[in-house]
Amino acid sequence: MRKRSVSVSIVAVLAAILGLASCQKNRMESVPVLSVGINRSLKSAPVVMADVHGLFQKNGISVDIKIENSAVSLFDGLHEGFYDLVCVPEYQAAVHAFADTDFRILAVLNRNQTRSLVYNGRKVAGIADLERKSIGLARNSSAEYTLYRALLVNGVDERTVSTVYYTPEELPSALANGEVDGVIVWEPFTTDALKLTGLAARTENVHFGRDMYWLLVTRLDISATRSDDLVRLLSSLEESIGLVNKKKSETVGQIASALSLSPDSLILEWEAYTFNLELPQSLLVSMEQEALWYQGRYFPEIELPDFLDVIDVEPLSAIRPRHVTIAVDGGSRVP
Protein backbone atom coordinates (compact mmCIF):
# COMPACT_ATOMS: atom_id res chain seq x y z
CA MET A 1 0.00 0.00 0.00
CA ARG A 2 2.83 2.38 0.88
CA LYS A 3 4.44 1.81 -2.55
CA ARG A 4 1.21 2.65 -4.29
CA SER A 5 0.81 5.79 -2.17
CA VAL A 6 4.28 7.02 -3.16
CA SER A 7 3.59 6.32 -6.84
CA VAL A 8 0.32 8.20 -6.70
CA SER A 9 2.06 11.15 -5.00
CA ILE A 10 4.76 11.26 -7.67
CA VAL A 11 2.14 11.18 -10.40
CA ALA A 12 0.27 14.00 -8.70
CA VAL A 13 3.42 16.12 -8.42
CA LEU A 14 4.31 15.50 -12.05
CA ALA A 15 0.78 16.37 -13.11
CA ALA A 16 0.98 19.61 -11.14
CA ILE A 17 4.35 20.53 -12.70
CA LEU A 18 3.05 19.76 -16.19
CA GLY A 19 -0.07 21.75 -15.42
CA LEU A 20 1.97 24.78 -14.37
CA ALA A 21 4.14 24.46 -17.47
CA SER A 22 1.04 24.26 -19.63
CA CYS A 23 -0.44 27.36 -17.96
CA GLN A 24 2.82 29.21 -18.46
CA LYS A 25 2.93 28.16 -22.11
CA ASN A 26 -0.68 29.22 -22.64
CA ARG A 27 0.03 32.55 -21.00
CA MET A 28 3.10 33.15 -23.19
CA GLU A 29 1.04 32.36 -26.27
CA SER A 30 -1.81 34.67 -25.23
CA VAL A 31 0.24 37.68 -24.12
CA PRO A 32 0.97 40.17 -26.94
CA VAL A 33 4.66 40.60 -27.68
CA LEU A 34 6.37 43.71 -26.34
CA SER A 35 8.70 45.21 -28.92
CA VAL A 36 11.84 46.76 -27.40
CA GLY A 37 14.13 49.04 -29.38
CA ILE A 38 17.80 49.24 -28.37
CA ASN A 39 20.98 50.57 -29.93
CA ARG A 40 24.18 48.76 -30.78
CA SER A 41 26.26 49.63 -27.71
CA LEU A 42 27.19 48.40 -24.25
CA LYS A 43 24.32 50.54 -22.93
CA SER A 44 21.95 47.83 -24.16
CA ALA A 45 23.66 45.06 -22.20
CA PRO A 46 20.82 44.45 -19.67
CA VAL A 47 18.26 43.88 -22.44
CA VAL A 48 20.64 41.73 -24.48
CA MET A 49 21.61 39.51 -21.55
CA ALA A 50 17.99 39.06 -20.45
CA ASP A 51 17.23 37.80 -23.95
CA VAL A 52 20.33 35.59 -24.27
CA HIS A 53 19.65 33.88 -20.92
CA GLY A 54 15.90 33.46 -21.44
CA LEU A 55 14.99 35.67 -18.50
CA PHE A 56 12.02 37.30 -20.22
CA GLN A 57 10.49 33.91 -20.92
CA LYS A 58 11.31 32.74 -17.40
CA ASN A 59 9.35 35.68 -15.98
CA GLY A 60 6.39 35.09 -18.28
CA ILE A 61 6.85 37.92 -20.77
CA SER A 62 7.26 37.77 -24.55
CA VAL A 63 9.77 40.30 -25.91
CA ASP A 64 10.91 41.09 -29.45
CA ILE A 65 14.20 43.01 -29.52
CA LYS A 66 15.04 45.30 -32.42
CA ILE A 67 18.54 46.78 -32.77
CA GLU A 68 19.44 50.11 -34.38
CA ASN A 69 22.94 51.53 -34.85
CA SER A 70 22.20 54.48 -32.56
CA ALA A 71 19.46 55.61 -30.20
CA VAL A 72 18.83 58.88 -32.05
CA SER A 73 15.68 57.70 -33.84
CA LEU A 74 14.35 55.25 -31.23
CA PHE A 75 12.02 57.78 -29.61
CA ASP A 76 10.39 58.46 -32.98
CA GLY A 77 9.85 54.72 -33.39
CA LEU A 78 8.18 54.61 -29.98
CA HIS A 79 5.67 57.31 -30.89
CA GLU A 80 5.01 55.75 -34.28
CA GLY A 81 4.13 52.44 -32.62
CA PHE A 82 7.07 50.56 -34.10
CA TYR A 83 8.36 49.98 -30.56
CA ASP A 84 6.49 49.49 -27.27
CA LEU A 85 9.57 50.36 -25.25
CA VAL A 86 12.93 51.93 -26.06
CA CYS A 87 16.26 52.43 -24.32
CA VAL A 88 17.38 56.05 -24.72
CA PRO A 89 19.45 58.73 -22.93
CA GLU A 90 17.67 61.04 -20.52
CA TYR A 91 18.39 64.01 -22.81
CA GLN A 92 16.01 62.63 -25.41
CA ALA A 93 13.24 62.27 -22.85
CA ALA A 94 13.87 65.80 -21.60
CA VAL A 95 13.60 67.44 -25.02
CA HIS A 96 10.73 65.26 -26.27
CA ALA A 97 8.64 66.36 -23.31
CA PHE A 98 8.45 69.85 -24.84
CA ALA A 99 6.42 68.43 -27.74
CA ASP A 100 4.28 65.94 -25.82
CA THR A 101 4.23 63.89 -22.65
CA ASP A 102 2.65 60.75 -24.11
CA PHE A 103 5.43 58.55 -22.70
CA ARG A 104 6.55 57.20 -19.34
CA ILE A 105 10.04 56.64 -17.92
CA LEU A 106 10.12 53.30 -16.10
CA ALA A 107 13.71 52.99 -14.91
CA VAL A 108 17.35 53.86 -15.36
CA LEU A 109 19.26 50.85 -16.71
CA ASN A 110 22.73 52.31 -16.34
CA ARG A 111 24.74 55.46 -15.81
CA ASN A 112 27.66 56.08 -18.14
CA GLN A 113 30.24 58.64 -19.18
CA THR A 114 30.94 57.57 -22.73
CA ARG A 115 30.76 60.67 -24.95
CA SER A 116 34.17 61.53 -26.41
CA LEU A 117 35.61 64.31 -28.50
CA VAL A 118 37.74 62.76 -31.24
CA TYR A 119 39.82 65.34 -33.10
CA ASN A 120 42.65 65.77 -35.55
CA GLY A 121 45.71 66.43 -33.39
CA ARG A 122 47.41 68.30 -36.23
CA LYS A 123 44.67 70.95 -36.15
CA VAL A 124 43.45 70.91 -32.55
CA ALA A 125 45.46 70.87 -29.32
CA GLY A 126 42.52 69.80 -27.16
CA ILE A 127 39.08 70.87 -25.94
CA ALA A 128 40.38 74.26 -24.79
CA ASP A 129 41.61 74.87 -28.35
CA LEU A 130 38.24 74.60 -30.10
CA GLU A 131 37.79 78.33 -30.77
CA ARG A 132 37.24 78.89 -34.52
CA LYS A 133 37.11 75.13 -35.07
CA SER A 134 34.32 72.99 -36.53
CA ILE A 135 32.75 70.08 -34.65
CA GLY A 136 30.58 67.32 -36.09
CA LEU A 137 27.50 66.30 -34.09
CA ALA A 138 24.64 63.85 -34.46
CA ARG A 139 21.42 65.83 -34.84
CA ASN A 140 18.80 65.27 -32.11
CA SER A 141 21.36 63.59 -29.86
CA SER A 142 22.73 64.71 -26.51
CA ALA A 143 26.04 65.59 -28.22
CA GLU A 144 25.11 69.26 -28.63
CA TYR A 145 24.44 69.70 -24.92
CA THR A 146 27.61 67.74 -24.14
CA LEU A 147 29.61 70.09 -26.37
CA TYR A 148 28.04 73.12 -24.69
CA ARG A 149 29.13 71.89 -21.25
CA ALA A 150 32.63 70.96 -22.44
CA LEU A 151 33.15 74.44 -23.89
CA LEU A 152 31.78 76.08 -20.75
CA VAL A 153 34.08 74.07 -18.47
CA ASN A 154 37.09 74.95 -20.64
CA GLY A 155 36.29 78.64 -20.97
CA VAL A 156 35.59 78.57 -24.71
CA ASP A 157 32.88 80.87 -26.09
CA GLU A 158 30.46 78.53 -27.87
CA ARG A 159 29.67 81.26 -30.40
CA THR A 160 33.20 80.87 -31.79
CA VAL A 161 32.73 77.16 -32.50
CA SER A 162 30.85 76.02 -35.61
CA THR A 163 28.80 72.84 -35.55
CA VAL A 164 27.99 70.57 -38.49
CA TYR A 165 25.31 67.89 -38.30
CA TYR A 166 25.65 64.31 -39.56
CA THR A 167 24.10 60.96 -38.89
CA PRO A 168 26.04 59.04 -36.20
CA GLU A 169 27.34 56.66 -38.88
CA GLU A 170 28.75 59.56 -40.95
CA LEU A 171 30.73 61.21 -38.15
CA PRO A 172 33.91 59.05 -38.29
CA SER A 173 34.43 59.60 -42.02
CA ALA A 174 33.59 63.32 -41.72
CA LEU A 175 36.54 63.69 -39.34
CA ALA A 176 38.85 61.46 -41.37
CA ASN A 177 38.04 63.36 -44.59
CA GLY A 178 38.79 66.73 -43.01
CA GLU A 179 35.22 68.03 -43.23
CA VAL A 180 35.38 68.94 -39.52
CA ASP A 181 38.17 69.37 -36.98
CA GLY A 182 36.56 67.12 -34.39
CA VAL A 183 33.47 65.03 -33.66
CA ILE A 184 31.57 64.11 -30.51
CA VAL A 185 30.87 60.39 -30.67
CA TRP A 186 30.33 57.24 -28.64
CA GLU A 187 31.12 53.58 -29.20
CA PRO A 188 31.31 51.97 -31.67
CA PHE A 189 31.75 55.28 -33.57
CA THR A 190 34.63 56.43 -31.32
CA THR A 191 36.74 53.45 -32.35
CA ASP A 192 35.73 53.91 -36.00
CA ALA A 193 36.77 57.59 -35.92
CA LEU A 194 40.14 56.77 -34.35
CA LYS A 195 40.86 54.06 -36.91
CA LEU A 196 39.85 56.13 -39.95
CA THR A 197 41.73 59.25 -38.83
CA GLY A 198 44.91 57.30 -38.12
CA LEU A 199 47.97 58.59 -36.31
CA ALA A 200 46.64 62.15 -36.14
CA ALA A 201 43.61 61.10 -34.08
CA ARG A 202 43.29 62.16 -30.45
CA THR A 203 40.43 61.66 -28.02
CA GLU A 204 39.20 63.19 -24.76
CA ASN A 205 36.22 62.37 -22.56
CA VAL A 206 33.79 65.29 -22.52
CA HIS A 207 31.58 64.36 -19.56
CA PHE A 208 33.73 65.91 -16.82
CA GLY A 209 32.15 63.71 -14.16
CA ARG A 210 28.56 64.17 -15.31
CA ASP A 211 26.57 60.93 -15.65
CA MET A 212 24.37 60.15 -18.61
CA TYR A 213 21.30 58.11 -17.61
CA TRP A 214 20.17 55.36 -19.95
CA LEU A 215 16.42 55.00 -19.61
CA LEU A 216 13.76 52.39 -20.27
CA VAL A 217 10.81 54.33 -21.72
CA THR A 218 7.36 53.22 -22.84
CA ARG A 219 4.25 54.86 -24.27
CA LEU A 220 1.49 56.08 -21.99
CA ASP A 221 -0.96 53.45 -23.27
CA ILE A 222 1.44 50.61 -22.44
CA SER A 223 2.09 52.07 -18.99
CA ALA A 224 -1.64 52.34 -18.34
CA THR A 225 -2.75 48.91 -19.58
CA ARG A 226 0.16 46.49 -19.10
CA SER A 227 1.54 47.24 -15.66
CA ASP A 228 1.87 43.54 -14.76
CA ASP A 229 3.91 42.86 -17.89
CA LEU A 230 6.13 45.86 -17.15
CA VAL A 231 6.84 44.45 -13.69
CA ARG A 232 7.81 41.13 -15.30
CA LEU A 233 10.01 42.97 -17.77
CA LEU A 234 11.79 44.91 -15.03
CA SER A 235 12.23 41.72 -12.97
CA SER A 236 13.97 40.17 -15.97
CA LEU A 237 16.24 43.19 -16.38
CA GLU A 238 17.09 43.16 -12.67
CA GLU A 239 18.29 39.55 -12.99
CA SER A 240 20.18 40.42 -16.15
CA ILE A 241 21.99 43.33 -14.50
CA GLY A 242 23.06 40.91 -11.76
CA LEU A 243 24.69 38.74 -14.42
CA VAL A 244 26.36 41.72 -16.10
CA ASN A 245 27.83 42.96 -12.81
CA LYS A 246 28.93 39.59 -11.40
CA LYS A 247 30.14 37.78 -14.51
CA LYS A 248 31.80 40.42 -16.67
CA SER A 249 34.35 38.00 -18.16
CA GLU A 250 31.58 35.61 -19.26
CA THR A 251 29.10 38.19 -20.49
CA VAL A 252 31.41 40.37 -22.61
CA GLY A 253 31.57 37.80 -25.40
CA GLN A 254 27.81 37.22 -25.33
CA ILE A 255 27.05 40.95 -25.53
CA ALA A 256 29.60 41.48 -28.30
CA SER A 257 28.17 38.59 -30.32
CA ALA A 258 24.56 39.74 -29.94
CA LEU A 259 25.39 43.32 -30.97
CA SER A 260 28.10 42.54 -33.57
CA LEU A 261 30.71 44.48 -31.61
CA SER A 262 34.32 43.83 -30.68
CA PRO A 263 34.79 42.32 -27.20
CA ASP A 264 37.96 44.40 -26.85
CA SER A 265 36.08 47.67 -27.42
CA LEU A 266 33.46 46.68 -24.81
CA ILE A 267 36.14 45.91 -22.23
CA LEU A 268 37.82 49.29 -22.88
CA GLU A 269 34.65 51.27 -22.12
CA TRP A 270 33.24 49.02 -19.37
CA GLU A 271 34.75 51.11 -16.56
CA ALA A 272 32.68 54.11 -17.69
CA TYR A 273 29.46 52.26 -16.79
CA THR A 274 27.44 51.61 -13.65
CA PHE A 275 24.65 49.09 -14.25
CA ASN A 276 21.79 49.45 -11.80
CA LEU A 277 18.00 49.45 -12.04
CA GLU A 278 16.90 52.68 -10.34
CA LEU A 279 14.88 55.89 -10.39
CA PRO A 280 17.10 58.40 -8.56
CA GLN A 281 16.43 62.04 -7.71
CA SER A 282 19.60 62.96 -9.63
CA LEU A 283 17.86 61.88 -12.86
CA LEU A 284 15.25 64.57 -12.35
CA VAL A 285 17.95 67.19 -11.68
CA SER A 286 19.83 66.24 -14.84
CA MET A 287 16.72 66.38 -17.03
CA GLU A 288 15.74 69.78 -15.64
CA GLN A 289 19.21 71.18 -16.39
CA GLU A 290 19.05 69.89 -19.96
CA ALA A 291 15.53 71.20 -20.42
CA LEU A 292 16.51 74.69 -19.22
CA TRP A 293 19.35 74.78 -21.75
CA TYR A 294 17.11 73.45 -24.54
CA GLN A 295 14.35 75.91 -23.71
CA GLY A 296 16.72 78.88 -23.73
CA ARG A 297 18.19 77.87 -27.07
CA TYR A 298 15.16 76.70 -29.03
CA PHE A 299 11.82 77.36 -27.30
CA PRO A 300 12.05 80.29 -24.87
CA GLU A 301 8.32 80.89 -25.22
CA ILE A 302 7.35 77.34 -24.15
CA GLU A 303 6.93 76.44 -20.49
CA LEU A 304 9.25 73.85 -18.96
CA PRO A 305 7.70 70.37 -18.73
CA ASP A 306 7.01 68.83 -15.33
CA PHE A 307 9.08 65.68 -15.57
CA LEU A 308 7.34 64.03 -12.64
CA ASP A 309 4.39 63.73 -15.02
CA VAL A 310 6.37 61.40 -17.32
CA ILE A 311 7.91 59.16 -14.66
CA ASP A 312 5.99 56.01 -13.70
CA VAL A 313 7.41 54.78 -10.39
CA GLU A 314 4.91 51.98 -9.82
CA PRO A 315 6.46 49.05 -11.79
CA LEU A 316 9.93 49.49 -10.28
CA SER A 317 8.48 50.16 -6.83
CA ALA A 318 6.76 46.77 -7.04
CA ILE A 319 10.08 44.93 -7.20
CA ARG A 320 12.76 47.33 -5.89
CA PRO A 321 11.13 50.06 -3.77
CA ARG A 322 14.44 51.12 -2.24
CA HIS A 323 15.82 51.82 -5.73
CA VAL A 324 13.16 54.51 -6.23
CA THR A 325 14.50 57.62 -4.50
CA ILE A 326 12.93 60.21 -6.78
CA ALA A 327 10.59 62.57 -4.92
CA VAL A 328 6.97 62.07 -5.93
CA ASP A 329 3.65 63.03 -4.35
CA GLY A 330 5.39 65.20 -1.80
CA GLY A 331 7.96 62.65 -0.68
CA SER A 332 10.28 59.81 -1.54
CA ARG A 333 9.22 56.32 -2.58
CA VAL A 334 11.74 54.81 -0.19
CA PRO A 335 9.83 53.05 2.65
Tens-place pLDDT, residues 174-228: 999 999 999 999 888 999 999 999 999 999 999 888 899 999 999 999 999 999 9
- Calculate ∠ Cα 111-117-120, nearest 5°: 160
Give tens-digit pLDDT for 103-146: 999 999 999 998 899 999 999 999 999 999 999 999 888 899 99
Report cis status (omega within 30 of 0) of the bond before 89: no
Q: Which of 287, 284, 286, 304 lies closest to 295, judged by CA? A: 304
Q: With CA atoms as reference, report the closest residue to 237 among 275, 185, 181, 279.
A: 275
CB 205 within 8 A of CB 222: no
Please tell me the chain's helix, strand, coil percentages from 3-state DSSP, rounded to the nearest 5: 50, 20, 25
- Burial-class residue 207 by CB neighbours within 10 Å (0-12, 13-18, 19+): middle
Intervals of CATH 3.40.190.10 along the chain: 32-112+212-332, 116-205
Question: According to the CATH classification, is domain 32-112+212-332 in 3.40.190.10?
Answer: yes
| Rounded Cα distance, 335 and 316, in Å | 13
pLDDT in tens, 247-291: 888 899 999 999 999 898 898 889 889 999 999 999 999 999 999
CATH topology of domain 116-205: D-Maltodextrin-Binding Protein; domain 2 (3.40.190)
Phi and psi torsions of 122, nearest 5°: -80, -20
Q: What is the DSSP code (8-state) at residue 33?
A: P
Close Cβ partners of 243 (under 8 Å, ≥ 6 residues apart): 49, 53, 251
| Backbone phi, psi, residue 43, to 5° | -60, -25
Phi, psi of 206 (to 5 degrees): -115, 20
* pTM (predicted TM-score): 0.85
